Amino acid sequence: MTILLEIPDSVARAIRLPKKEQQKQLKVELALSLYAQGLLSFGKACELAEMTKVEFGLLLGKRNIPRQYDEQDLQDDIAYASG
């Protein structure tokens, strides 16, 4: 499924980004916001932002957005690393 988000022309013109960067940057901002609210997983947020996990993780740090990593995530990672 693809979602098309319509932004009024007056708002699009008011965004202080070069037109060619708007779509990419808006995807990144949406990914950050949805992840921070717990509405999107880390992997899917990376996918939406079109960034690697390392890039997205670094951006979270720059924005002071805490990683959502709980005990279950740790156990899953340990199990995966153990084979």
What is the reported pLDDT for 33?
A: 98
10 located within any domain: no
DSSP 32-52: HHHHHTTSS-HHHHHHHHT--
Query: Is residue 80 predicted with pLDDT exceeding 90?
Result: no
pLDDT per residue as tens digits for the range 19-66: 899 999 999 999 999 999 999 999 999 999 999 999 999 999 999 999
Q: What is the pTM of this model?
A: 0.81
What is the reported pLDDT for 51?
A: 97
Containing structural domain, residue 44: 20-82
50 located within any domain: yes
When divided into structural domains, the chain yields a total of 1
| Structure confidence at residue 73 as a pLDDT band (50, 70, 90) | confident
Place of tokens 């690393």: 81
Tokens read off for 62: 């720059």
Which has the higher per-residue pLDDT, 80 or 45? 45
5 located within any domain: no
d(CA 49, CA 64): 17
